[in-house]
A and B are shown apart, each in its own frame.
Chain A
Amino acid sequence: DIQMTQSPSTLSASVGDRVTITCRASQSIDTWLAWYQQKPGKAPKILIYKASSLQSGVPSRFSGSGSGTEFTLTISSLQPEDFATYYCQEYKTYSRTFGQGTKVEIK
């Protein structure tokens, strides 16, 4: 199975900060990677697919990059509604493994 490792597990930031979350795959997944945002008590929603493609309707302050085994999600200017938990997921294999999540907290 492919392992997906996110860092950091928790991130404290202020409104307006630039935030970067990293996701590493244990083997190459090309660009078959998605990022999701989940708020407490809600279903996740997709932000980014194919490593860097912005899902329709998602604000442009979110961006993704990377290929192979290393990927990043960047929020260019953190907004109050962005405090949430973020997950990466590979979809190269049937296991469709998720990262363990990164919680973005208010500093």
Chain B
Amino acid sequence: KQEVTQIPAALSVPEGENLVLNCSFTDSAIYNLQWFRQDPGKGLTSLLLIQSSQREQTSGRLNASLDKSSGRSTLYIAASQPGDSATYLCAASTSGTYKYIFGTGTRLKVLA
């Protein structure tokens, strides 16, 4: 059974810092791994999607990597801004069922 864990659960950093969010999954047989952002009381905003055959994806200040062999993905945020404050969720798409198993989330607060 796929389990997805995110570390840390919460993170507070000063503006301008580069930071890394971690996502671990137990079953390496995944179709893809997706990172989302969720603002309080809101839905999901897709940030980056990494297909199982890829190792990383980049969008602006965001870079996500995928290492299936170790069951890990990281989301790198460069030059963090107060507007980046949100909860970040990773989700692994389980091979064979297309189900998404979500991680526990990292609540990020970037201080001005």
To the question of whether A and B form a pair in one complex, the answer is no
